[in-house]
Structure 1
Amino acid sequence: MQFETIPHPSPTSDEAREAAIADPGFGTVFTDHMVTIDYLESEGGWHSAQVCPRGPITLDPAASVLHYAQEIFEGMKAYAHADGGLALFRPEANAQRFNASARRMAMPELPEDMFLEAVRLAIETDAKWMPPIEGGSLYIRPFMFANEAFLGVRPARQYKFIVLLSAVGNYFKGGVNPVKIWVSQDYVRAAPGGTGAAKTGGNYAASLVPQAEAIAQGCDQVVFLDAVEKRWVEELGGMNLFFVRRDGSVITPPLTGTILPGITRDSLVAMLREEGLEVREEPYSITQWREEAESGELLECMACGTAAVVTPVGTVASPTGEFTIGAGGTGQITAKMRERLIGVQHGTIEDRHGWVTRIA
């Protein structure tokens, strides 16, 4: 498919852009352009691919996404390399997960090469928005939603795919410090047979109330337990978990359909095994978490995701009290995995797996 390029009539000035990316925070500074592709079942599927000025989207009030929430998205980053080039980390995995989400939400799949080309064009078009700061990157948000105007419960026949870019710094305002997390008692993120493995907005909307509860309790993030027994640790509101134990093993909750299959999670599994650690994907209970932390069997706990990369978990709190993992700081394995992963992404450490794709 050929992408039409529509020139921006009034792009951001160099001075305004440089001021915006000097300290961008996370998710509030957007670039000048976006990439769009339309889908219409009656016209044979995907068509009208464009690189165009970023701007408002016109939606009919009866657009299906507003009533039945057919919407999916991805989270990716472009990283600056020392030679001035830019690179993506495992973009093919994002394309594959995007289509897995589409299948679960009864939406059309986007050919992987089309997804990757849309992302590449977005980065090449707005590469000058890369923040020149430590931890800076271009956060990439590909997403798709149903925009057919109708009121009826069935899969829509019309969709729009868009790629947005945001200049970002570190996800947590305080930098890389151990986070305190709250164990949700009254809420769950996903249930068996639900949409937990899909990256769809409804999963995140459901996490907002318990996340607010966590913040009210003086915590940074919420951790969810399973929906059936309220016993097994699943994931945070937007990150997967790893438990580093004294016996040289690392446990991460298994992908049984209620947990998002994180690309950072999958990468860490491979990297930890390369360090000689035994990684087991198996259930880990909240009781085991507390007991192993208190006995010293649990040395470290780390959360991971595209936005925050690898983040140490220092303290876990709940209505029955709280416990600290290790000394409450950043453990050796957590620090090493974070350093290595960031090094691979930025091209300063050897990429042994072919995970990095240069695009500019």
Structure 2
Amino acid sequence: MSKPDPVPRPTSGDDALAHIFLGEEGLQDPSPYYRYMREEAPMHRSANGAIFLSQYDDCREVLRDNRLGKSTTNESLLSSGDPEAAQVRKDQQMKAVEENHAASMLFLNPPAHTRQRALVSRAFTPRRVEVLRASIRTLAEGMVDEFVEAGGGDLLDALAFPLPVAVIGTMVGVPEADWPQFRSLITATAAGLEPAATADDLREGYAAHAVVRSYFQDLVAERKANPADDLLSGLIQVADGDDRLSDNEIVAVTTLLFAAGFETTTNMIGNGMGALLRHPDQMARLWNNTSLLNPAVEEMLRWDSPVQLDGRTVLEPAEVAGEPVEVGTRVMTLLGAANRDPKHFEDPECFDITRDEGPPMSFGSGIHYCLGANLARAET
């Protein structure tokens, strides 16, 4: 049985959170700080009033409780307190309202979320993902062959970045010639979502997001005139009686798919390969027994989650971790901490690709469970 490293002794839950999301040590390896949160502050109310949860069952319960939902604000609960960054966030939110940006289902609550997700699911089907598997394998094998022929190099540049863009681009219907621009645009957008994002990071992220929105506005118009066998055409055509997705909603959904599909899968590939390289015994086990591929992917997801936290807001009186909480309270689930909870996973500090203890929390839970989870697993 593996033994975890000695737990660093933060002075408080807030100090541990600062290390996790704003400190270099936590960015490199947050697991000791997550362990502190689980053991010393499993339900921690931070100085700004938000609640942070770190145990698996508590996180899952909150994500499945529809009395808690998505907030209408885009404020950061983990920022360094930069007033300029806070003002940039507020200005962008007002601009989105003025320009009548449609919200994607990621930021909606029922019944609006139920309606949009149901329509999107009619187009983004398991069959569509299954049809893509052969293309994913061909794309991945070609990139790996080039990597080997070049004598090695940076695996992120050779595979983890280009593969998700190629897969999402193929599925949505983005012309191959346009794929390269999305790496920098989505990277900038994602940087603006980081807890430590500066005002400049936010401005660059919002500017990149505007370019992506504009691109998909043009592509939606083109597909309406010339339908194709792709997801974008499917989103345009899908209907529930007289109800259809608006052009604005389709732009929001495709922007979300590109951003989330690229960022999370890139992280999965990079983190997963990093874990295998640091555990050569598990690498050898997988190499000699490819039937372990599926559980290996699940263990990679558990070991180093591509998404580290997910937030909700209390919409009506509810209980969190057995305690009553007020309406308006923000609740953050530390997914990376939940995935190392010894109450749910035996010997959680051990990387074991034969593990079979149920799914990790990496794709969330409840009504906002990641729609593209199966696609991300297929790419990895």
Q: Same fold (TM over 0.5)?
A: no
In terms of fraction of residues, the more strand-rich structure is 1
**TM-score bracket for this pair, using the shorter chain length:** under 0.3
In terms of fraction of residues, the more helix-rich structure is 2
Greater RCO, CA 8 A, separation 6+: 2
